[in-house]
Amino acid sequence: MAPRKKKEAPKTSKSKNTNAFIAGAGTIVDSPVTETLKTNFMPYAMSVIVSRAIPEIDGFKPSHRKLLYTMYNMGLLNSKTIKSANIVGRTMQLNPHGDAAIYETMVRLSEGHEALLHPFVASKGSFGKAYSRDMAYAASRYTEAKLAPISAELFSDIDKDTVDFVDNYDATMKEPVLFPVTFPTVLVNANMGIAAGMASSICPFNLREVCETTIAFMKDEDINVADTLLAPDFPVGGQLLYNRADMEKIYETGRGSFKVRGVYNYDKSQNCIDITQIPPSTTCEQIIEKVVELVKAKKITEINDIRDETDLDGLKITIDLKRGADPDKLMKKLIKMTPFEDSFSCNFNILIAGSPKVMGVKEIISEWVAFREECVRRRVYFKLSKAKDKLHLLKGLEKILLDIDKAIKIVRETDEEAQVVPNLMIGFGIDEIQAEYVAEIKLRHLNREYILKRTADIENLLKEIEEMESVLASKTKLKKVIIKELERVIEKYGKERCTAIINGALEEEIADEVVIDDSPVTLFFTKDGYFKKITPQSLRMSGEQKLKEGDEITQIIESDNSTELLFFTNKCQVYKTKTIEFGDSKASVLGDYVPSKLDFDSGENAVYMVQTKDYSGFMIFIFDNGRIAKVPLSSYQTKTNRKKLIKAYCEKYPLHTVLYFKEDSEILLKSTNGRMLIVNTAALPLKATKDNGGIAVMTQKKGQRLNNVQIYQKGELSADHRYRTRNLPAAGSKLPAGTDAEQTKLEI
């Protein structure tokens, strides 16, 4: 593509109100797409990554940090709750992205929302629920909040130069770059975000386990993290399907997934199932909607009703069962077919020194330890500087102790105020800072008792300074300080796991055992293509089967809900479905019209139904011209879940009858010429090609055809050997003269 030529700006007269044109205005410049992306999109993308979506090593995104720091400055760590709207308004001094976004951040951090294992905001009012889509939070003017006690661990020594501060967006205030957290919050509370071109998904872990693992790592960096950090832990509870190898891979790479299953119990007295815990990645409404969908699709038939009974006592989904339904078998279906069991994907992407990095758990702990060591080192250095300054002042005060009267005399006899400090410096041999401190002492404190009390701290200060200097000089002592803080956090905030750990491989095997309802049913199929599935209980209580005028029942089969159904049509096709796909019916209704149910082609009708579990046995296709094709039923079995197969049988000859046999049997054929022939299916060759034309069995002259076919039972015809033959094809035999239907015991 040829480069675009620069166009000159149109010549116009200068405006009276404009002194000069803007340089380059109106000029079109050719620029490569890659350059445009670099200059325009990349700054935006980096802003989203660094300033919004990806958490840092302290476990917080900027929006979280701005909100919590504002609440800390408002004194909400040790006070009563105040209106959330007040907090949101004050936070806008640091976060200019609008009140709605700030309030949503507060909601997620709150106790009432139940999204975090250790919420940082104590809430009062309706803050919605993380596990419910429809339970929305109230407006900020109706709710109240303050900082939870554990938030004290975020701001510990924040005023002692432990972290850097920067200007807010309009340079009127200062805010911390990070929080000097005393435990690895980045692993304790869940954090998810979607940036431009990357995302982060950090699952929460039990606080006690995280702190114990961190302590173990600081003592020995070669530990296996999985020995102490058992598995993720979610505030909603649930059951985690544990696989040691998969979990170790997540711990090592920072990527992977695992399954979490809900918790239920069966109330025998009410014949209902109560779901009390669900996976963190779904909601009550999603589970209920999926169950309703399955019930409507007739894939689940054991449920009478399902409803959300979540209240102040917590989450609860109630499922009312039909009489005789097996609750455990039903729940195995729901595990397979609904979000009652769901996967949680991990992507431990964290900002380290302003750059996103996907890390394993051990690497995250290592980065946090390095960050915490720097915070503690800065805190110790800050306290050391303060202690040295205080010691310096006390040393000067100690010299005053030698002659208090002299100090008073110097102050009293000095003519000018500006000369008091220099005279004290000369009189006692102290520096300006010490002299300034002494000069500021109130007259009432210029007594021996006060000075002795103050100077008594010198010895303690010397010991503290020596200890702090040794901490700064020794990495081992620095780690001991951090370990001691972690042990204090465990003792103060540690609690038992919310999410149970179960053997994943074993549970998946159990769930696979029974996933299909195998309750007994009776299947009815009519000439006009209507289908009914009736339970034994309903069949016992029912009367005569209702049929369309002129219709009749052609097949009645004792079966169960675990079978597959094949419907052969008049257009050489077969449609496959499952018995469970049809709902339970009654004798008083017409039933399901199969062509509509299975979406047949226009003008297509079902002529025969087969039910099977293992595709054993064979099909017999009998044509008007006396030919018969024998096809194994396994020829219609497919690896994929195909619903429709073409060329199900030969379309070359008009079809008369379709039959299915589990094992070889005899068939009685009768022609329009009055002849009959008994054929054993064992004499017919089995061909795997579905649309083969079969072989000639009963010869027909021009204008003749078969007019009746049925399964033959021995003894139904007198002297039935007359109608058998060793060689095929055969013409068959006629009934002896004077023989009627009653004598033959068979009405043809």
Do residues 697 and 679 make contact, with C-beta atoms less than 8 angstroms apart? yes
Strand order in the sheet with 618-623: 655-661, 618-623, 627-632, 695-696
Which is the catalytic residue, given 142, 242, 593, 723? 142
- Going by their DSSP bridges, the two strands 303-308 and 272-277 should be labelled as unpaired
List CB contacts of 612: < 8 A, sequence separation 6 or more.
563, 564, 566, 633
The answer to whether 337 touches 298, Cβ cutoff 8 Å, is no
Told to judge if 142 belongs to the known catalytic residues of this protein, a careful annotator would answer yes
Report yes or no: 250 and 528 within 8 Å, Cβ to Cβ. Answer: no
Distance from C-alpha of 94 to C-alpha of 65, rounded to nearest angstrom = 10
Residue corresponding to tokens 């003592």 = 219
* Closest C-alpha to 72, from 127, 134, 149: 149
Give the position of tokens 């949680």.
Answer: 344
Q: 130: which DSSP letter?
A: T
Segments of 56-190 assigned E as strands: 82-83, 121-124, 144-147, 165-167, 174-176
- If 0-12 CB within 10 Å is exposed, 13-18 middle and 19+ buried, where does residue 467 land? middle
| Lookup result for tokens 């106790």 | 111
| 3-state SS, one letter per residue, for 494-534 | CCCCCCEEEEHHHHHHHHHHCCCCCCEEEEEEECCCEEEEE
- Distance, C-alpha 618 to centroid of its chain: 46
> What is the Cα–Cα distance from 275 to 256, expressed in whole angstroms?
27
Q: Are 712 and 655 in contact (CB under 8 A)?
A: no
First to last CA, the chain: 84
518 burial (CB, 10 Å; 0-12 / 13-18 / 19+) is middle
The 8-class DSSP code of residue 363 comes to H
Backbone angles phi, psi at 88, to 5 degrees: -60, -45
- Got the DSSP string for 221-263? TT--GGGT--SB--TT--EEEE-HHHHHHHHHHSEEEEEEE-E
- Residue 338 half-sphere exposure toward CB, CA atoms < 13 A: 27
Separation between Cα atoms, residue 151 and residue 160, nearest integer Å: 17
Residues annotated as catalytic are 142
